[in-house]
Amino acid sequence: MLCRLTRIRTRARRNNVTQAIKAVIFDMGGVFINTFDHSARQIMAQRYGISIEELERIVFHNPLSIDAEKGLFSKEKLLEMMAQQVGIPVEEATAFYEEFFSNDEEDAELVAFVRTLKPHYKLGLLSNAFPGTREWMQERHTFLDLFEVSFFSAEVGMRKPEEGFYRLILDALQVEPEETLFVDDFSQNIAGAQELGMQTIWYTDREKAIPLLKELLPVSG
């Protein structure tokens, strides 16, 4: 993990010399929301007779999930697909979905830190997410109010690392790529942001990321 942040630290410092940061764009899953406790998913995997890796593949990493993140079909259709692949009745799909995400936790310390940035920088959220994610988050969390703009991929028909998705939020924040710091936990999304000229932090964990954010984002007053 350390070497990943070290590489990004070097790039961020170099970019920061040439262009001051005016906006910070964050990913959501793996940054603000994490699954530190995998016990619920382990229980589910045992129940369905599959590995936890296969369970997570069914939810996150199959072509239909990617299509759902682009809004190509509804949450109901997504749940039906998951039920079919796991081998459970469609009537149990909603309970399956809720149990799968039941151990997700909001990183309260990171939220508190980012709140200190709000008076000084434009803040945005850019997330690859299933249909209904905004409503799901609003029911369970309060940190969406941190952001001037938030875009969920299923709502706009694009997902990272598509160039248009990045440009959508840059235009909404009215900033140039070089004026923007982008924070994400997936290397392909970091690469997409770098290709546009954004400064980047490849997020691995809060303990390493917050000191780096403080270094790159001075706050006065």
What does the H/E/C string look like for 47-81?
Answer: HHCCCHHHHHHHHHCCHHHHHHHCCCCCHHHHHHH
pLDDT at 220: 66
Rounded Cα–Cα distance for residues 89 and 92 (Å) = 6
| Tokens encoding 159 | 């997902």
Q: Is residue 58 within 8 Å of residue 85, measured between CB atoms?
A: yes
pLDDT digits (tens, 9 = 90+) for 28-76: 999 999 998 999 999 999 999 999 999 999 999 988 999 999 999 999 9
Cα–Cα distance, 90 to 219 (Å, whole number): 51
N- to C-terminal Cα distance for the chain? 33
Give the chain's domains with CATH numbers. 2-34+105-216 (3.40.50.1000), 39-100 (no CATH)
In DSSP terms, which residues pair with 127 in a beta bridge?
Answer: 152
Residues 6+ apart with CB under 8 A from 205: 1
Task: Report the length, in residues, of the chain.
Answer: 221
- 94-145 pLDDT, tens digit per residue, is 999 999 999 999 999 999 999 999 999 999 999 999 999 999 999 999 999 9
φ/ψ bin of 157: left (φ > 0), alpha (ψ from -120 to 50), beta (otherwise): left
State the Cα–Cα distance between residues 11 and 14, nearest whole angstrom. Answer: 5
Query: Given a cut of 50, is residue 16 above it in pLDDT?
Result: no
**pLDDT-based confidence at 219, cuts 50/70/90?**
confident
Report DSSP letters for 132-157, one per residue: THHHHHHHH--GGGG-SEEEEHHHHT
Cα separation, 126 vs 183, in Å, equals 10
Q: Which two tokens stand for residue 99?
A: 């149990």
Q: At what angle do helices 39-48 and 93-100 cross, to 10 degrees?
A: 140
How far apart are alpha carbons 25 and 180 in whole angstroms?
A: 7
Rounded to the nearest angstrom, the gap between the alpha carbon of residue 151 and the centroid of all alpha carbons in its chain is 10
* pLDDT > 70? residue 6: no
Q: Is the pLDDT confidence value at 187 over 50? A: yes
Percentage of the chain exceeding pLDDT 90 = 87
pTM higher than 0.85:
yes
Q: Which residue reads 């239909």 in tokens?
A: 64
